[in-house]
Amino acid sequence: MSRSSARAYITLSIAAALITMGLKFGAYQLTSSVGLFSDLAESSVNLVAALTAFWALTVAAQPPDKEHTFGHSKAEYFSSGLEGLLILVAALSISLTSIPRLLNPQPLTQLELGMGLSIIASIINGGVAMVLLRAGERLRSITLRADAHHLLTDVWTSVGVIGGLVLVKMTGWLILDPLMAIVVALHIAWVAFKLLRESMSGLMDSALCDADQAVIQDTLTQYQAQGIHFHALRTRVAGTRSFVSFHVLVPGDWSVQKGHALCETLEQSIMQALPGAHVMTHLEPLEDPISWADAELDRVQNHQP
């Protein structure tokens, strides 16, 4: 993945956060709506999260060194985890601000202009979120995907707040403003939980997704018809990088050169099927009883027929 490309997308997110914060602050000042304050709080978190994401991508771009021989790509998980925590802080802030208004509703002013500014901010956030989401999928970046989901959460926050203000204007029920803000807080808290869960999964070295593992199995199956066997297949994901390792069992009378050539071919085949993957193989003789015992144990543990 081009880290510089990913950082360019995050720069777009930072610019969007600054613009939408200005628009939403104006909307809150005009209306005194606690719902619009919740919207502003969410956008403030967007800015901090985007700056954190830029830092994470900068760290992840650093090449492997003596202390981090597998690179720094896991920095992205810290970014998405921090983003989840920040969303939780925003949800708590919104709730604490809304409860007093729930007990003592306040009149709202200049709703039309305030809602107009909020709608413009939502359009900006929605557009940037879709750009980041597509880039995150293409570049396999959890940081871009997390930031995109955060911006989409902001859009839904705005939609809910504006809907509540429309109902306030139609019915005159001022209590709907803080009620909608609390609903928004619960929604974004759920989004934060999902982000934190994904970050923890990445930090715990989760395996590749089922689709990617199926690609690996299909590649290896092509060689099994030639009498080649495999076991100890292990995979893990670290940010944008993925790691694959497995043992290759070949006839014991093969030359080292022939076995090495096969392993090179296998590694290249998988790396072509999974761009960005790092593949490691270990060569073993078919006749080795320990290798067969390990293969059988691996088969049973993975519930293979």
Domains in the chain: ranges and CATH:
3-203 (1.20.1510.10), 210-301 (3.30.70.1350)
Residue with tokens 């030639």: 226
pLDDT at 127 over 90: yes
pLDDT for residue 153: 77
Q: Which residues, 6 or more positions from 166, have their beta carbon under 8 angstroms from its beta carbon?
A: 115
CA 240 to chain centre: 10
Quote the CA–CA distance of 255 and 210 in Å, as a whole number: 35
- Torsional class of 254: left (φ above 0), alpha (ψ -120 to 50), beta (otherwise): beta
Most confident by average pLDDT, 107-116, 147-156, 227-236, 265-274: 265-274
Quote the CA–CA distance of 165 and 113 in Å, as a whole number: 12
Most confident by average pLDDT, 123-132, 147-156, 240-249, 268-277: 123-132
pLDDT for residue 295: 52
Local confidence band at 239 (pLDDT 50, 70, 90 cut-offs): low
pLDDT for residue 205: 67
- String of DSSP letters for 157-188: HHHHHHHHHHHHHHH--TTHHHHHHHHHHHHH
Quote the CA–CA distance of 267 and 281 in Å, as a whole number: 7
| Angle ∠(169,175,180) on CA atoms, nearest 5 | 85
For residues 120 and 169, the model is more confident at 120
pLDDT digits (tens, 9 = 90+) for 253-297: 888 899 899 999 999 989 888 887 889 998 888 776 555 455 554
Residue with tokens 């199956």: 221
pLDDT for residue 50: 83
Cβ atoms of 147 and 134 within 8 Å: the answer is no
Local confidence band at 231 (pLDDT 50, 70, 90 cut-offs): confident
Quote the CA–CA distance of 283 and 305 in Å, as a whole number: 23
> What is the mean pLDDT of the segment spanning 219-247?
81
pLDDT digits (tens, 9 = 90+) for 9-37: 888 889 988 999 899 899 888 888 877 87
> What is the mean pLDDT of the segment spanning 197-216?
78
Quote the CA–CA distance of 236 and 56 in Å, as a whole number: 20
Residue 235 pairs in a beta bridge with: 244
> What is the mean pLDDT of the segment spanning 69-82?
71
Segments in the chain forming alpha helices (H):
3-31, 34-60, 75-103, 111-139, 142-171, 176-203, 210-224, 256-273, 289-301
pLDDT for residue 53: 78
Two structure tokens written together for 44: 């403030």
pLDDT for residue 123: 92
pLDDT at 237 over 50: yes
pLDDT at 202 over 80: no
pLDDT for residue 124: 92
Local confidence band at 195 (pLDDT 50, 70, 90 cut-offs): confident
pLDDT for residue 294: 53
- Tell me the whole-structure pTM to 2 decimals: 0.60
pLDDT at 300 over 60: no
Most confident by average pLDDT, 46-60, 78-92, 116-130, 187-201: 116-130
pLDDT for residue 305: 43
Look over the chain and give the mean of its residue pLDDT values, rounded to a whole number.
79
Q: Which residues, 6 or more positions from 192, have their beta carbon under 8 angstroms from its beta carbon?
A: 84, 85, 86, 87, 88, 91
Q: Centre a 10 Å sphere on the Cβ of residue 229 and count the other Cβ atoms it contains.
A: 16
Of all residues in the chain, the percent with pLDDT exceeding 90 is 9
